[in-house]
Chain A
Amino acid sequence: MRKYLRVTTWLLAAVMLLAAGCTGSKAPTTPAPSTPTTPAQPEVQKGPNGELYGGTYRIAIMEEPPIIDPQLDTTLLIYNMARNVFSTLVRYKPGSLELEPELVAEMPKADADNKTYHFKLRNDVTFHNGNKVTAKDVKATFERMMTPATKAQNTWVLEEIEGAKAMLEGKATEMSGIKIKDDLNFDIILARPFGPFLQNLATAPASIFPADVIKEKGAQFGRAPIGSGPFKVAKWDANQQLVFEKNPSYFEKGLPYLDKIEYRVIPEEATRWMEFEKGTFDEGEPPTAEFISAKTGGKYQFIEYTTLNTFYISFNVKFFPDKRVREAVSLAIDRAKLLKTVWNDQGKVAKQFVTPGIPGALANPPEFKYDPAKAKDLLKEAGATNLKIEAWQRGTDKVTDLNLAIQQMLADVGINYEVKMVDRATFSSTRSQGNIPANQGNWFADYPDPDNYLYTYFHSVQGCSMSVCLGDKDVDKVLEEARALADQAKRQKMYQDLETKLVLQDYVIVPLLHQTGYIFVQKWIHGVKGHPTEVEGSKLVWKDAGK
């Protein structure tokens, strides 16, 4: 008996030792078709500023993208992947909000009516399957987005084009607003002037697909996408990993620097961070508890960048019609303290809803006051002592942290702020029906224009899906008018006046903080900069030799 116990224990120990000895060896994996890695040579090819070529950029992601199709999905991961696999007509300059050409030969010009734009494509761009990018592909891609059977979620990007709405309603099968002149030249005519139109074309959802492939593949296009971007999809192991490979015929000569990008799926946050600490991944995101030690530890690069976002508390005005109550909530929150204790100063206190830096945002608004005594008075005046606010939450680590602090601050003025955590599907569907009383959320700008904030949140066509449910016809009119104005100065004034009334006076939404973007990368990574829209792609990334 003792003998058998001993035998088993030795057996186990032997197995563990054997296994430990085999740590180095790996089972052979099916080799992906790839370009040979640069062997050690006396003459190493370098970029214009000493960038090295080669290497694999390894990232851990929480879940695999269901499809790489930015028409059908709205997550940032897919937008970033789209920047690697596809190209857009125009794009943002690295780290800036200025536009520059990508697929077009020069920036498109608009006619005097501000509705007709002339586009001329570059002559030297091919898709990953070797076919040239032509005007027909642009038209087919845009028509695909507006075809109801595609079930695209990002139709807002192209909605202002003439004939787009007719397609969505099933009244047309072609977009009348796109006129092809020849292989490289085409015009786009808008239904009415829309200032941010070119910015929309720079977003990932406006990526251009090959006409023949989308026709052939239909809904399956997103699992084997073909684009004209700096990388192409080489391997996709479902729910496990995605491998992108360098596009050898990318039209920007000398780019990209990397040979491959590897995305590995690891659902657990702690595991992702431990693997990053081990050096398995090149980019990482620490859990909140580890943020300070990661930032100040000196082992990784901490890259900060400006992002256009606002974190806020939104109220469904149907549940909270009295603006004194909303103002009381704003007065009860010590924003500076939130920033310091919950976010470790990784951001700025918000004085407005449309993020500063966006042309048309309020220029110099006063700070939101912190005055708990006045908050209590307002609540008494409104007859709302013992108020209960049920704030719904779709939990992520950082959003919940803010909520806990807010709960405490509101309790100090007698408001019972109850945080109701629900799973994402429940949250989204309840929100779309306008049944969420309050919500601590955030908005990251799709394009740098007040319209992206104010129209999305306050126009009744969005219904109550952003949980504000304003439903004010006068506000709708202002928003629609401002959209169509060509006079930028006039537009911006309209937005500023609107925000001053709705936010600064009526507290229809309570802005809290703006977050400063950050990325942690290993010391051997270069070329990662961060972009205000949070969509960057890995075209300019390079690694130290041998890493």
Chain B
Amino acid sequence: MLAYIVRRLLAGIPVLIGVSLITFILMNVVPGDPVTAAFEKRADLETIARIRHEMGLDRPLVIQYVEFVGKAAVGNLGNSFRSRLPVADSIAGALPMTGRLAASAMSVALLIGVPFGVAAALRKNSWVDYMSAVTTLSFISAPVFWIAIIAQLIFGLTLDLFPMSGYEGPIYLVLPATVLGSRYAASIARYTRASMLEVLNQDYVRTARAKGVAERLVIWKHALKNALVPLLTVIGLEFGGLLTGSILTESVFGLPGIGRLTIQAIQYRDFPMIEGTVLFTAVVFVLANMLVDISYSLVDPRIRMA
């Protein structure tokens, strides 16, 4: 197992290098640069050229990239062009907020999604199933920022039940987590339903029923446990996605997470911050994929780590 983990981690290194290289190329090819992006009003060419020179942006691209890789390898991601603060610190500072949002949204998603998925599978083709299908489709299709603003309007402003922006305690997460979670709940419900249906048709389920096992045990102990295995992939990857920031939710609810950091970096062509957040995203996905694969072997003894 340990060897497997080490191998997977080592395999992640070319991924990181590839991602950082592609990002670097894109940043320098796309129009716009950090100096002019910061100019709100006037911008005479002399000043622009001078600042670019001071920032080292007029050096050959190869040198700039090699210097970046060299520093990143020892953990120095440089300083943000905008805030002048270390990129690593900014990402670390935004991580708790994203983590909270991700964890609470995923909890809501599982709490709602799994039971509804199971119910839909058990009541296949009944009105419960159709209602569930329509609802989940709506939540997946509706833009999350629209759902968010409606939620703010109804529960935050009109009914004044929950705060609608900022973060000063767990109560501030109710609306964002529910909005974000409902979207993931929808997809989890659909996956759960599909997975359950497949499992319920298996021989061992029929055997269990034939043996006289209580229906409740058949569902929850035998069927659901097996149905959850493919669901793990979905949950793991979606949680990884949540950890890299939910930009729209963070923007609407004013939460200082990684999503905000990333989008602002791109808007202002903050090169060190862009590289930092992109590398962070890559690391999260490499780890998430690895953990999902490992958990497979733990949950399903038939699967061996190759």
Contact = CB atoms under 8 A, between A and B. Distances in A.
Interface of A: 1, 4-5, 8, 11-12, 19-20, 22-23, 25-27, 29, 60, 63, 66-67, 73-76, 148-149, 151, 153, 155-156, 168, 219-220, 222-223, 237-241, 264-268, 270-271, 274-275, 277-278, 280, 422-432, 443-444, 446, 456, 461-463, 465-466
B47 A241 contact: no
19 contacts: A1-B118, A8-B112, A26-B171, A27-B168, A66-B83, A75-B40, A222-B84, A239-B94, A240-B256, A265-B254, A266-B254, A274-B152, A424-B267, A429-B33, A429-B36, A431-B43, A432-B43, A432-B48, A462-B44
Contacts, number: 194
A76 B41 CA distance: 10
A223 B169 contact: no
Given A278-B156, A463-B45, A268 B252 contact: yes
Interface stretch (B70-78, B158-166, B235-243, B292-300): B158-166
Given A1-B119, A220-B84, A237-B256, A428 B37 contact: yes
B233 interface: no
A463 B51 CA distance: 17
A266 B165 contact: yes
Contact of B39 (A74, A149, A423): A74
B32 A1 contact: no
Contact of A271 (B44, B165, B171): B165
A151 B269 CA distance: 16
A271 B42 contact: no
Given A73-B38, A432-B43, A1 B264 contact: no
Given A274-B153, A463-B45, A466-B42, 10 more contacts: A12-B111, A153-B39, A240-B167, A240-B254, A240-B256, A264-B166, A268-B149, A428-B32, A428-B43, A465-B42
A422 B37 CA distance: 12
A239 B54 CA distance: 27
B218 to A, nearest CB: 11
B82 interface: yes
Given A148-B50, A148-B54, A238-B93, A277 B157 contact: yes
A323 to B, nearest CB: 25
A20 B55 contact: no
A239 B261 contact: yes
Interface in B20-69: 30-34, 36-48, 50-51, 53-55
Contacts of A429: 31-33, 36-37
A1 B122 contact: yes
A444 to B, nearest CB: 8
B220 to A, nearest CB: 8
Contact of A268 (B50, B161, B163, B251): B251
B171 to A, nearest CB: 6
Contacts of A220: 84-85
Given A25-B171, A274-B156, A153 B47 contact: yes
Residue among A271, A427, A465 facing the most chain B CB atoms (10 A cut-off): A271
Contact of B42 (A1, A22, A274, A462): A462
A428 B48 CA distance: 11
Closest 5 pairs (CB-CB, A-B): A425-B32, A27-B169, A425-B37, A66-B82, A239-B256
Contacts of B51: 151, 153
Nearest to A459: B44
A403 B36 CA distance: 24
Contacts of A155: 47
A173 B23 CA distance: 38
Given A268-B252, A278-B160, A223 B83 contact: yes
A10 B32 CA distance: 53
B280 interface: no
A265 B112 CA distance: 31
A432 B36 contact: yes
Given A271-B149, A425-B33, A430-B31, A149 B54 contact: yes
Contacts of A23: 161-163, 171
Contacts of A237: 256
B39 A20 contact: no
Contacts of A443: 41
A371 B264 CA distance: 44
A274 B36 CA distance: 33
Contact of B111 (A8, A223, A274, A462): A8
A107 B120 CA distance: 80
A148 B52 CA distance: 10
Nearest to B119: A5
Contacts of A426: 30-32
Contacts of A74: 38-42
B50 A168 contact: yes
Contact of A423 (B123, B168, B169, B267): B267
A203 to B, nearest CB: 12
Nearest to A1: B122
Contacts of B33: 425, 429
Contacts of A456: 42
B252 A271 contact: yes
A19 B267 contact: no
A249 B40 CA distance: 34
A259 B260 CA distance: 30
Contact of B256 (A5, A76, A265): A265
B157 A278 contact: yes
B145 interface: yes
B115 interface: yes
A427 B41 CA distance: 12
A107 B53 CA distance: 39
B226 interface: no
Interface in B126-156: 128, 145, 149, 152-153, 156
A156 B164 contact: no
Contacts of B85: 220, 223, 238
B283 interface: no
Contacts of B31: 422, 425-426, 429-430
Contacts of B254: 60, 240, 264-268, 271
A274 B157 contact: yes
Contacts of A268: 145, 149, 251-254
B90 interface: yes
A23 to B, nearest CB: 6
A294 to B, nearest CB: 14
A271 B252 CA distance: 6
Contacts of B122: 1
A277 B145 CA distance: 20
